[in-house]
Amino acid sequence: MSDLLLLTEAQAASLVTMQDALEAVEASLRHQAGAQATNLPRSRVVASPTASLSLMAGADDADGVMGVKAIVVIRGKLAFHTILFSTASPLLAVIESDILGQLRTGAATGVAARYMARPDTASAAVLGSGPHARTQLEALCAVRPVRRAWAYSPTAAHREAYAREMTARLSIPVLPVSSAEEAVQQGDAVLCATNVVQPVVRRAWLRPGAFVASIGAHYPWRQEVDETTVAEARVVVTDDLDQAKRDCGNILWAVERGVFRWEKVRTLADVVAGNVPGRTEANDITLFNSLGVTTWDLAVAKLAYQRALERGVGQRVALT
């Protein structure tokens, strides 16, 4: 029996870059389109008023892995762990995966942008200033020729700090602005990474041909884009239809109000595989609703595991 590998947050993060994550996530989406990778929707258990556990599971036969992503919330603090198994042998690794999760979520938006954003996308609007807002913009800049970005967050100090950090990281001007509308009106791509419950993107604000990515509407009561944006988008894509029908607030609100039908939703896996177009006309509005699926976690976790073995990183525990 092989050893179990334990990787801390810092160790895992040192082993995977955004470019790595883009390649790994796109490969996992191709496996999903070919029925070689499957996901179970997120399940949540509330243990007490201050403690909860969310579990996601998946398997990628083409990659030879399966596993579980566990998200624990205790008194408002979150912890993320990916438990990685081989499809041919027992448990491989337990990996702290907050930063890996940020990478894989950003990478999924980057992959979506490759197929759904205009090739000449030169500007971005970012709504939110947390860790995911950072990897969202990083991934977009890796796949499109973004030259300038505008950032909005309700707290001025947060958006200003975000703008300074991302300007230095990406070597493009990132400008803090005082309203979501001001940011959205500037963006060829609009990246939403918020925890709002009311829309921060209105259809009237969007530029012709805008690509919109929403990662924060992963509860039924959260809505980052208004129902008119959903209804008028030429292409509406999500990562997992079953999970979206349960959790995607953007689409659920639009369906509830009778302006949209689930039959119009496509999966990112089918877009990547070429089964459906991600964009047909330059002026189309396209919308990617990201909820996060376990096969993305497995893709980056496997890469971290392999590199850790090669470089002697992490703690090995003998299994009996």
pLDDT digits (tens, 9 = 90+) for 41-66: 889 999 999 999 999 999 999 999 99
Residues 6+ apart with CB under 8 A from 257: 227
pTM as predicted: 0.96
Structurally, how many domains does the chain consist of? 2
The better pLDDT of the pair 256, 319 is held by 256
What CATH code is carried by the domain that includes residue 250? 3.40.50.720
Q: Supply the pLDDT for residue 319.
A: 84
Clarify whether residues 197 and 221 are in a common domain.
yes
Please give the residue range of the domain that contains residue 160.
109-292
Clarify whether residues 285 and 227 are in a common domain.
yes
Clarify whether residues 166 and 254 are in a common domain.
yes
- Residue 237 bridge partners (DSSP): 266, 288
Clarify whether residues 170 and 35 are in a common domain.
no
pLDDT digits (tens, 9 = 90+) for 74-123: 999 999 999 999 999 889 999 999 999 999 999 999 999 999 999 999 99
